[in-house]
Copies of this chain bind each other. A is one copy, B any other.
Amino acid sequence: MRAAIPSVLACLLLAGIGAATPVAAKPETVADWLVQSSATDWRDLDLENTLYLELPTGRVVIELASEFAPEHIRNIKALVREGFYRQLPIVRAQDNYVVQWNEPSEAPPKTLTKASRSIAAEFSVTLPSYFTFTPLPDRDGYAPKTGHVNGFAMAMDPDSKQGWLTHCYGAVGIARGNAIDSGSGTAMYVVTGHAPRHLDRNITLVGTVRQGMPLLSSLPRGEGAMGYYTSADHYTFITDIRLAADLPPAERSTLQVLRIDTPTFQGVVEALRNRGGDWYQRPAGYIELCNIAVPVREAPQS
């Protein structure tokens, strides 16, 4: 019996009773895990790969996954620096699918100086031997394996050693015509509905929205076929798209994304797979890739 006392004491200490620094109980929910996360669990967004899509209603923050689509991302940066996106309209908002921006068909195309209008498709990449990603334990319907790399949802095929970004909510891609190299970043889209995973490896994805999705997802839907607006009067005009690194620090967002190679992220995933708390009656024991929102937060004031 006496032997039990130390462990009881230890339990009380772990529960935060009598401890100088209260230590919380075992995390159960996503919120629990995030509250208990440490500063090193988070990373700043990569300024060289972060776009600010500025709308009259606010800022949408996009992080680019340069490992997956380097040529498209290089071209997007050229377009940004030419001012290509300035006053470009959102021409399409298709319910449960995508919003899209590009030059309106009513106006002549802009003249490009350094950027290109045709970039070779980057639908998937060959994974180098040193590539690591954090796999999910659960099966996926669309791909042999899914998981995350650097905070981006991805899928992979171990046999062919191919990896690709996936069309989850908030994914940002390069619209194209029928020719696979007909996209370049002059027309882009964001997924605003149930993940259209059948698009995976059919079109180039470049990144994901880290903040500001409601500014896109709550836009009035286009009344035409495929959600295109039938009148320019219905367009929302993009003030500009800018690269975070090009802005003075005071104009930058200060977001951080949870590192996926941490016990905290594993805890988040497990909390999503088997939801606790008082409400859930039947934890699913499963989480689908696109039901994981990689946590983002405002950087703490230093």
Contacts and interface: CB of A to CB of B under 8 A. Distances in A.
Contact of A220 (B138, B140, B218): B218
Nearest to A200: B284
Contact of A201 (B178, B217, B278, B281): B281
A202 B95 CA distance: 27
Interface stretch (A126-134, A190-198, A236-244, A251-259): A190-198
A272 interface: yes
Contacts of A291: 194-198
Interface string A285-296: 011101101000
24 contacts: A93-B218, A95-B214, A95-B217, A141-B286, A141-B288, A142-B286, A169-B193, A180-B281, A193-B193, A197-B288, A197-B291, A198-B272, A198-B275, A198-B283, A200-B284, A202-B280, A202-B281, A214-B220, A217-B217, A217-B218, A218-B218, A218-B219, A218-B220, A218-B221
A161 interface: no
Contacts of A196: 291
Given A169-B193, A178-B278, A198-B283, 11 more contacts: A96-B213, A96-B293, A123-B282, A138-B141, A139-B139, A168-B194, A194-B291, A195-B291, A197-B284, A202-B281, A217-B217
Interface of A: 93, 95-96, 123, 138-142, 168-169, 178, 180, 193-198, 200-202, 213-214, 217-221, 272, 275, 278-284, 286-288, 290-291, 293
A297 to B, nearest CB: 15
A286 B144 CA distance: 12
B198 A284 contact: yes
Nearest to A281: B202
A142 B218 contact: no
Nearest to A201: B282
A50 B118 CA distance: 49
Nearest to A217: B95
A76 to B, nearest CB: 22
Nearest to A220: B218
Given A95-B213, A213-B95, A141 B139 contact: yes
Contacts of A180: 281
Contacts of A220: 214, 218
Nearest to A138: B141
A94 B71 CA distance: 36
Contacts of A140: 141
A282 to B, nearest CB: 5
Q: Which interface residue of A140, A272, A291 has the most chain B CB atoms within 10 A?
A: A291
A193 to B, nearest CB: 7
